[in-house]
Chains A and B, each alone.
Chain A
């Protein structure tokens, strides 16, 4: 069964304190791994798509990486506005219509 596990569930950082969020996945054949950001009361907002092991993508203070078993979302020198829930999802080759989501990591960055 395809599965996504995110850790930690919650993370508190001081402004400027870099850290990483983990997304471990089990999928029969990976077509793509997606990262979304969700603010309270809003829909998930797309951040990145990674397709193959070794791929990396960056956007401002965020950098996503991918291996054959997991993905990391690295946050460098975070700011309070980076506080949100970060969701990871996988898309399988056999069923490209579906995204299977993890439970998310809720990040709080304190000034």
Chain B
């Protein structure tokens, strides 16, 4: 059974460029979460969707960040323009309802 799938696994870009991270949740799950992990701040929730609808985006750091979930099997997190302080590992997780969240392998983003 496939777990959460994220792409790309690694992304290196230059400051000012647009970055798009992708996530495919586990089939049948109806909640999807985007997290960011850094050494300084640990694992922090950016935004989560329930039934494709954004429920809480209070963790999105600023307007440069946006997330969409056009259907139950796909979500994107976009950063435009990117900045060096956005360098982190971004995780996607999914679940059914409010049950245990299952995490993907993450995307390591480096902004030069």
Among A41, A44, A103, the most chain B Cβ lie within 10 Å of the Cβ of: A44
Interface residues of A in 83-101 (CB under 8 A from B): 87, 91, 95-101
What size tier do the contact residues of chain B reach? 20 to 34
Chain B residues 96-112 with CB under 8 Å of chain A are 98, 100-106
CA distance A96 to B55 in the complex (A): 11
Is A45 within 8 A of B103, CB to CB? yes
Min distance, Cβ A103 to any Cβ of chain B, angstroms: 5
How many of A's residues come within 8 Å of B, CB to CB?
A: 22
| A44 vs B50: C-alpha distance when bound (angstroms) | 21
Most buried by A among B4, B31, B101, B104: B101
Report the nearest A residue to B98, measured CB to CB.
A96
A-B residue pairs, 4 tightest by C-beta: A43-B103, A96-B98, A101-B43, A103-B42
- Listed in ascending order, the chain B residues whose CB lies under 8 Å from chain A are 4, 31, 33, 42-45, 48, 50, 55-56, 91, 93, 98, 100-106
